[in-house]
A and B are shown apart, each in its own frame.
Chain A
Amino acid sequence: MSDVTSERAPRQMPNFMRRLDPAVTTAFACIILLLAFGSFYSTSFLSPEYLLQQLKVASFLGVIATGMMIVILLGQIDLSVPWSVAVGGMMACAAAAFGPTGEAFAIPFGIACGMAIGVVNGFGVAYLRIPSMIITLATNAVAQGLMVVYTGGFSPQDSATAAMRYLATGDLLPGIPNAVIIWAIVGAAAVFALTRTTFGRSVYGIGNRERAAYLSGVNTRRIVLVAFIVSGGLSALGGVLLAGYASKAAQSMGDAYLLPSIAAVVLGGTSILGGRGRYLGTVAGVILITLLQSILAVMQMPEAGRQITYGIVILLMLLLYGRAPASR
């Protein structure tokens, strides 16, 4: 856990020290609380191996939450995450079945399929002005329908390529899993794009007031389209990594990522109305959610209890600092 903060420290630290974001501070405080609580249950909770393992699991969610964060910064939401993840994993595995050429193109193909879903979402939101939660629910249903037809209702038999498995489970640098490195690269790219490019400025601008951004000459529709494509692509990348981790894709592999990815972004202090939020918060949110899941698993909480705890924790944290202003 401390690895991630130090990784991002050079860029974030001075800013972070000057004005402590209450949401990010709360999220990190909760992480420390969870770690302390977890160490009561088991002494191995604070061991480097366990923490690194948690970080590896967190990196799948981290990649997916990065795309979700960009969309939420626009003031929109992407509810097509579950089947974008599944499509990414399944299509990459499907491509792997087509011999060596297929294996070489498996990962780009999976990501491209996710981006295609993003194109439909982005086109609907930006050009047809359909509310994002509706159009993304609809594309989610269509993606599910396509996959059901493709697989015949069963889990696909194709397995992940060696490259996918290496990305998800191998370690290029000794001791640091590749998945974590991918998350770090995706995260660094996101931080750069959000803080140092016109794209990032436009995203925050649109999230604050789309009308003003449009009048300032921002091509708002193109920015929204690109943001949804990025979100679809990152969800699919998450799916590719997950398929590599489990060495095959499954029908419902993405279902467990919708609520956590929204929760991670929102718990990290990004306003659900858009225009406000920093990537460091999302990192904190992702780690917080992963640790919470892990502790609930260690406590051998059944699925029912996990769902309830999840919902309650998210609601409580949001009530603490995610409320809309009282005045109208």
Chain B
Amino acid sequence: MIVAPFDNLASTIQSLIDGGSISVGAEIEVGSYVGTGVTTHSATNPAKLTFNKPPKFVRIFYFNNSSESAKNGGFFGTFFPTLGYGSVQRDVTNVSYAFAAPYVVTLNGNTMEWYTVDEVSVGSANNYKHLQQDNLTYYYVAIC
């Protein structure tokens, strides 16, 4: 599992923006969540993350150092909420375990919601492909 000073990273980047060292209007937000174990194939019960401003780009990732890492480790999601789409992929070099699937991404105020309609690729029971493996901590970086 990744252990990284994300809170420090956020405050450092924010202070650079506030101080004018990075002259952008964007805000970078970082954080984490623990997976709920839920798989979602419809808009009725999507996964959710809330930000301080509507996010334009969100990257979610984790790395699992367990023996299952070849199969289940290294998943990451790349989402463009204002454009309405994103994808989840498996970040492994073993092509037998390659995986990528499109996800529907919506914005509800400052909350990003995501789910997949690609049940064939994702499967009905594979919550890790939804970035929702239970009891696993996921980290995110967003440009808002």
Partners in one complex: no
* Chain B residues close to A by CB (< 8 Å): none
